[in-house]
Amino acid sequence: MENLKELNTSTRVLMGPGPSDVHSRVLRAMSTPLVGHLDPEFLMVMDDIKVMVQETLQTQNPLTFVVSAPGSAGMECCLVNLLEPGDEAVICIHGVFGTRLADIAERCGAKVIKVEADWGTPIDPNNVKKALASCKPKLVAIVHAETSTGVLQPLEEISKMTKEAGALLVVDAVTSFCGTELKVDEWGIDALYSGSQKCLSAPPGLSPVTFSQAAIDVLENRKTKVQSWFLDLTMVKNYWAGAKRAYHHTAPVSAMFAMREALRIVLEEGLENRFERHRKNHELLRDGLERLGFEFLVSEPYRLPMLNAVRIPAGVDEALVRKRLLDEYNIEIGGGLGPFAGKIWRIGLMGESATPNHVNMLMAALKQLM
Ligand SMILES: *Cc1c(COP(=O)(O)O)cnc(C)c1O
């Protein structure tokens, strides 16, 4: 075989459901020369990340750390540590990621009680209440920002009823993290996982996670071993939080450097300013899309600012337009998943991709293509 050429990808504009565009400061941090994963300087990087994740999640939880794997591993981490065979788990499903939660909970040997809503609408708290009354729930798991449909799920009422039922609240905040209000302590969230590549705008492959004291108590009182060695927090926590910082696995050092810089950028901007920026650019995009004849899938109060799900107008060949956006304009947007394949687009305005310039570029390209 001939030698392959050096990798040279196109300069894309990332406006899909993640990954989002990454700031050049983050890319530079990622090219920092390696240090060992137990080097005191790297342990300091881990400490910095932990403090900044606590701040961005608005939590004091000491067990706040980053799983060395993507958001789906954070999801698995929360469930495998909290569920044992025979436990009952209320899983809310209103899109692809709720479906994935149910799949994982079943693989943990839990009895899953599903609470469903039509895709494109939020979960009705009354149905959660009914489900809670029908079993002895160990936990309720729910997606805060359902990236497959563009729905923002209100959490506070569901959190209250979950507490009253003596269960833990597990939240998927992969897409909401750093893009919209998310208050772990105030909202009574017990276990939460997120992702690096959406509104944080770091490279994919890491999942910030936090556990409350109530969740740690459940973990510490397990009768069976956690079924995953890699995700077993009874061991991982000694690497992230233990006094000895014992070897567990080799952390992805460069990705952690990148995450540290991305978190610094978020806190420099300020959470409220960042949320406002996502809102403003969503409104700009919404106005432009509506002028072109697109309709939003989700009713207004439940729309995500960072993930705009719109129905494709009649007569538009959605796959062709998406392909031409990529080939001719270097712009990536997302298609629909599951029942929405071919029916909607999912346009991301996440982190570094939530700018007026991104919106204007996409609108100009769409005007030419449609
Ligand atoms: C992207 C996403 C995930 C999965 O994250 P990966 O990094 O792709 O594994 C989970 N939940 C939601 C809501 C997401 O948007």
The answer as to whether 6 is a domain residue is: no
Q: pLDDT at position 240, please?
A: 86
Backbone angles phi, psi at 16, to 5 degrees: -100, -160
**Domain identity same for 335 and 259:** no
C-beta neighbour count of 4 within 10 angstroms: 6
**Domain identity same for 275 and 259:** no
The residue out of 243, 266, 289 marking a domain boundary is 266
- Neighbour order of strands in the sheet with 88-93: 63-67, 207-211, 191-193, 168-172, 137-143, 88-93, 111-116
CB 123 within 8 A of CB 153: yes
Q: pLDDT at position 159, please?
A: 98
The residue out of 219, 243, 266 marking a domain boundary is 266
Quote the distance between the C-alpha of residue 306 and its chain's center: 11
**Domain identity same for 261 and 161:** yes
The answer as to whether 4 is a domain residue is: no
Give the DSSP H or E segment for 321: helix 318-329
The answer as to whether 332 is a domain residue is: yes
Q: pLDDT at position 247, please?
A: 87
Which residue CA neighbors atom 5 of ligand 1 most closely? 71
Most distant CA pair in the chain, distance:
66
The answer as to whether 149 is a domain residue is: yes
Burial 141-150, CB ≥16 within 10 A → b, else e: bbbbbbbbbb
Q: pLDDT at position 11, please?
A: 97
- Helices assigned H by DSSP within 108-187: 125-133, 156-164
Q: How far, in Å, from the CA of 198 to the mean position of ligand 1?
A: 9
Quote the distance between the C-alpha of residue 365 and its chain's center: 28
**Domain identity same for 246 and 343:** no
The answer as to whether 3 is a domain residue is: no
**Domain identity same for 110 and 52:** yes
Q: pLDDT at position 238, please?
A: 85
**Domain identity same for 143 and 282:** no
Q: pLDDT at position 2, please?
A: 82
The answer as to whether 202 is a domain residue is: yes
Which residue CA neighbors atom 3 of ligand 1 most closely? 71
Q: pLDDT at position 246, please?
A: 84
Angstrom distance (rounded) from CA 74 to CA 206: 8
Q: pLDDT at position 158, please?
A: 98
In three-state secondary structure terms, 309 is strand
The residue out of 228, 245, 266 marking a domain boundary is 266
**Domain identity same for 301 and 250:** no
Q: DSSP assignment, residue 18?
A: S
pTM, full prediction = 0.98
Angstrom distance (rounded) from CA 169 to CA 191: 7
Burial 308-340, CB ≥16 within 10 A → b, else e: bbbbbeeebebeebbeebbeebebbbbbbbeeb
Burial 268-292, CB ≥16 within 10 A → b, else e: eeebeebbebbbbbbebbbebbeee
**Domain identity same for 221 and 275:** no
**Domain identity same for 107 and 223:** yes
Radius of gyration of the chain (CA): 21
Which residue CA neighbors atom 8 of ligand 1 most closely? 71
Q: How far, in Å, from the CA of 19 to the mean position of ligand 1?
A: 10
Containing structural domain, residue 258: 24-266
Q: How far, in Å, from the CA of 295 to the mean position of ligand 1?
A: 25
Ligand 1, atom nearest to 73 Cα: 9
Residues with CB under 6 A from ligand 1: 18, 70-72, 75, 97, 143, 145, 147, 172, 174-175, 195, 204
**Domain identity same for 249 and 311:** no
Could you give the number of structural domains in the chain? Answer: 2
The CATH number of the domain holding residue 326 is 3.90.1150.10
Q: pLDDT at position 328, please?
A: 98
The CATH number of the domain holding residue 242 is 3.40.640.10
The answer as to whether 294 is a domain residue is: yes
**Domain identity same for 286 and 243:** no
Regions of the chain where pLDDT drops below 50 = none
**Domain identity same for 283 and 151:** no
Angstrom distance (rounded) from CA 257 to CA 57: 19
Angstrom distance (rounded) from CA 353 to CA 23: 10
